[in-house]
């Protein structure tokens, strides 16, 4: 059964899709199979061309083709497109191009390497939101970009009519609580180990690379919290936690992509500078996944 989506898409379990490759090309048939699999599992949304998709290793044409393949199979499941870079005019042009497609939003990071001030970040995200035909989902991930979005900056950005949500990888519980309490942005946990805590605090959902593996358990976790069945939610999370740790034992998406390749019958290779995971890690991961309970 495919999940029926309510009008507001920024809630629930979102899978930041990997990008299957075959040789030097995107494996579009494998990508279509994955999208159908996650729709059947009942996830609430899909992310195209995020960090886990190795978007930084793809050119703009490849990213657009990946987005089109996902949209062709996504049906009523909302899709958000990743948007990263440090050239504002190019980012605005991509926002306009991709936002003209039937997407739910654009997942936008701070410009990497430059480490702008908070005033610069306000200008950057405001300019992207002004240009984008689709709502902006802020992506606060300072350990990758080199700069954090401070709470005051986020609360000012929340006033923009075209900024709707945040993928929260900021590493600050105080900031997470402040955003949830403010209520204007849909707070989506971006750190897999923070999924249960964020949901219990009132966060709207989770964007988790580990949800690739047993999406049904993640959907069950979300449903359990929403229904107040916290004992069930805790049991599900503690069952998933060993798998989450193993999936991040080497740089993401190496382990999850290799595992998915074995489970779904495609080449699980990553592009340079990433490398294939250690075979021993992969064997341990397979055993941990096999030990997971039924939903």
DSSP, residue by residue, 135-179 = -EEEEE-HHHHS----HHHHHHHTTSTTEEEEEE-S--HHHHHHH
To the nearest 10 degrees (0 to 180), the angle between helices 254-264 and 279-290 is 60
pLDDT tens digit string along 119-140? 999 999 999 999 999 999 999 9
Looking at residue 295, its pLDDT comes to: 79
Looking at residue 151, its pLDDT comes to: 97
Looking at residue 45, its pLDDT comes to: 98
DSSP codes joined into one string, 211-261: GGT-HHHHHHHHHHHHTT-HHHHHHHHHHHHHHHHHHTSSSTTHHHHHHHH
DSSP codes joined into one string, 30-98: HHHHHHHHHHHTT-SEEEESSGGGTGGGS-HHHHHHHHHHHHHHHTTS-EEEEE--S-HHHHHHHHHHH
Arithmetic mean of pLDDT, 198-212: 98
Cβ within 8 Å of residue 47, ≥6 positions away: 14, 15, 16, 17, 53, 79, 80, 81, 82, 107, 207
Per-domain boundaries in the chain = 12-228
DSSP 202: T
Cβ within 8 Å of residue 230, ≥6 positions away: 200, 224
Arithmetic mean of pLDDT, 159-173: 97
pLDDT higher than 80, residue 4: no
Task: Determine if residue 284 is labeled as part of a ligand binding site.
Answer: no
Looking at residue 6, its pLDDT comes to: 41
pLDDT tens digit string along 33-57? 999 999 999 999 999 999 999 999 9
Task: Determine if residue 145 is labeled as part of a ligand binding site.
Answer: no
Cβ within 8 Å of residue 242, ≥6 positions away: 288
- Structural tokens at position 238: 């503690």
What's the angle, vertex CA 185, arms to CA 180 and CA 191, rounded to 5?
65
Arithmetic mean of pLDDT, 74-94: 97
- d(CA 252, CA 193) in angstroms, rounded, equals 14
The reply to whether 139 belongs to the active site is: yes
Alpha carbons within 13 A on the beta-carbon side of 173: 8
pLDDT higher than 60, residue 2: no
Looking at residue 8, its pLDDT comes to: 79
Q: What is the CATH code for 12-228? A: 3.20.20.70
pLDDT higher than 60, residue 89: yes
Q: Which of 38, 167, 175, 248 is catalytic?
A: 167
pLDDT higher than 50, residue 1: no
Share of the chain above pLDDT 90, in %: 96
pLDDT tens digit string along 94-123? 999 999 999 999 999 999 999 999 999 999
The reply to whether 175 belongs to the active site is: no
Q: Which of 38, 139, 218, 222 is catalytic?
A: 139
Looking at residue 7, its pLDDT comes to: 53
């Amino acid at each position: 059964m495919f999940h029926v989506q309510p009008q507001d898409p920024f809630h629930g379990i979102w899978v930041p899709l990997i990008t299957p490759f075959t040789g030097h090309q995107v494996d579009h048939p494998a990508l279509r199979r994955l999208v159908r699999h996650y729709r059947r599992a009942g996830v609430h949304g899909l992310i195209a061309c995020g960090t886990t998709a190795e978007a930084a290793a793809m050119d703009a044409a490849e990213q657009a083709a990946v987005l089109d393949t996902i949209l062709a199979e996504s049906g009523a499941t909302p899709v958000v497109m990743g948007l990263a870079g440090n050239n504002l005019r190019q980012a605005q042009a991509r926002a306009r191009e991709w936002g003209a497609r039937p997407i739910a939003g654009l997942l936008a990071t701070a410009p990497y390497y430059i480490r702008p001030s908070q005033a610069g970040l306000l200008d950057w995200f405001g300019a992207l939101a002004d240009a984008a035909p689709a709502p902006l989902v802020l992506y606060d991930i300072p350990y990758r970009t080199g700069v954090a979005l401070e709470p005051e900056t986020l609360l000012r950005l929340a006033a923009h009519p075209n900024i709707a949500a945040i993928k929260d990888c900021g590493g600050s519980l105080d900031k997470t609580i402040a955003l949830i309490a403010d209520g204007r942005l849909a707070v989506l946990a971006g750190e897999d180990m923070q999924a249960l805590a964020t949901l219990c605090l009132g966060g709207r959902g989770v964007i988790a690379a580990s949800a690739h593996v047993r999406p049904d358990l993640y959907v069950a976790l979300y449903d359990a919290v929403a229904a107040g069945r916290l004992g069930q939610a805790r049991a599900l999370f503690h069952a998933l936690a060993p798998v989450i740790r193993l999936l991040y034992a080497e740089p993401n998406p190496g382990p999850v992509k290799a595992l998915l390749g074995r489970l779904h019958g495609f080449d699980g290779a990553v592009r340079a500078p990433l490398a294939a995971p250690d075979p021993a890690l992969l064997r341990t991961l397979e055993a941990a996944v096999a030990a997971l309970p039924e939903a």
